[in-house]
Amino acid sequence: MGRLEGKVAIITGGASGIGEGTVRLFAGEGAKVVVADVQDARGEKLAEELGTATTYCHTDVAQESDVANAVDLAVRRFGRLDCMYNNAGFGGVSGPIDELDMAEYDRTMAVLLRGVYCGVKHAARVMKAQGSGSIVSTASVAGVGAIFGPHVYSTAKAAVIHMSKTVAVELGPFGVRVNAICPGGIATPIFGKGMGLTAEEADATIEPMKTVLAQSQPIRRSGLPSDIAEAALWLASDSSSFVTGQAIVVDGGITLAASGMFGGDRSALTPEERRQRFVDLLQGKG
């Protein structure tokens, strides 16, 4: 019997990277899964591959109506909602603070923070009535340290961590748990795109990316989507039934002994600088 047998989950950003890895693991452990993403072709293909217990729903998490629709679909098709995994994200706006593009700031925060609020809000309306549920959100080591990401990304992820704590206090009496996961360097195309690579470049450089990431923390291997998926699985399962309001760091120890992937603060790097430094590392020039 799988560890999520009989449970229903929604995974945003579920068509690729950490989200896809989590969809596959949850489905393999017996969960019925709604893959919520904007990558329609990938999401539909994944759902078709995994069978009738998995379905795809086009979901732009910055649009509350899309998130509400994904929650309604899960309940309508599978009868309940046991885990809401707010995982969708991207690198967002970057650069020195005095050059910050406020329109891009709004776009970044809409996905990274507002999107999480939408997921928590609409999961809560179902889970409170059920008297049970687990809400999990992807934060980041950038939310606990000041050298791991651009200003806006880091701020949003810190907010996700704290929001998980405050909402855990509210929802605990209803039997609903709320936690965050803080990944370190995970070798995914999304990580590469966050460093300024094109989608094609990011897909083609996963192996050298693993080599670069392996040199960045005490555990000398790259983080993998499966590492985060296993943490999400534990938080979604009954094995973590006494755990709420926590930010689980899954980073190979990078927050313990690192000065940043580029040897220092990269929060103020321009997109061009970040891309070039990352390309140099991929080519062994770092």
Q: Mind listing the domains of the chain with CATH numbers?
A: 8-188+222-255 (3.40.50.720)
pLDDT, tens only, 218-268:
899 989 999 999 999 999 999 999 999 999 999 999 998 754 454 455 556
For residues 72, 76, 81, 84, the Cα torsion angle rounded to the nearest 10 degrees is -40
pLDDT of residue 281: 65
pLDDT, tens only, 158-178:
999 999 999 999 999 999 999
117 assigned to active site: no
d(CA 168, CA 50): 32
Which residue would you say has higher pLDDT here, 62 or 201? 62
When pLDDT is cut at 50, 70 and 90, the band that residue 284 belongs to is low
User: Percentages helix, strand, coil for the chain, rounded to the nearest 5?
Assistant: 50, 15, 35
pLDDT, tens only, 50-82:
999 999 999 999 999 999 999 999 999 999 999
- DSSP run (H or E) holding 240: none
Calculate mean pLDDT across residues 124-133.
98
> Per-residue pLDDT for 3 more than 50?
yes
Calculate mean pLDDT across residues 183-197.
76
When pLDDT is cut at 50, 70 and 90, the band that residue 154 belongs to is very high
d(CA 12, CA 244): 20
Whether 188 and 14 have beta carbons less than 8 Å apart is answered as no
pLDDT of residue 200: 75
Query: Among residues 56, 85, 117, 153, which one is catalytic?
Result: 153
Q: What is the pTM of this model?
A: 0.90
